[in-house]
């Protein structure tokens, strides 16, 4: 029997990590894969994670002067808006590349 550490949080009943074979993608994931592989017009930004074409730019510290929004610091530019809603920072790319 292998000795385990007595570090807090370790549970003797925890099973070991195992490699499992890949499963078939769900219907929703199959749609996402199809959209990502679709031919896109030259230069069109498309999320390689979800296939959305909506971008978001985040600016902090902007102010309204003379009726126009001015200044501020750009925190994020051209990120996927749909992934942003889920807390994921996914860059928009004009070609299909693997997600890191
Ligand atoms: Zn996305």
Protein residues with C-beta less than 5 angstroms from the ion ligand 1: 47, 49-50, 52, 80, 82-83, 90
CA of 83 to the centre of ligand 1 (A): 4
- pLDDT in single tens digits along all 100 residues of the chain: 455 555 555 566 677 888 989 899 999 989 888 887 887 788 888 888 888 889 999 999 999 999 999 999 999 898 999 999 999 988 888 777 766 5
The partner residues of 89 in beta bridges, in order of sequence, read: none
CA of 71 to the centre of ligand 1 (A): 27
CA of 82 to the centre of ligand 1 (A): 5
pTM: predicted TM-score of the whole model, two decimal places: 0.58
Alpha-carbon span 92 to 51, nearest angstrom? 9
């Amino acid at each position: 029997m292998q000795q385990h550490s007595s570090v807090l949080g370790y549970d003797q009943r925890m099973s070991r990590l195992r490699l499992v074979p890949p499963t078939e993608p769900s219907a929703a994931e199959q749609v996402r894969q199809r959209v990502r592989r679709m031919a896109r017009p030259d230069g069109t930004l498309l999320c390689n994670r979800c296939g959305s074409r909506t971008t978001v730019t985040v600016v902090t510290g902007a102010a309204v002067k003379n009726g126009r929004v001015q200044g501020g610091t750009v925190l994020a530019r051209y990120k996927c808006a749909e992934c942003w809603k889920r807390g994921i920072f996914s860059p928009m790319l004009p070609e299909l590349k693997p997600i890191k």
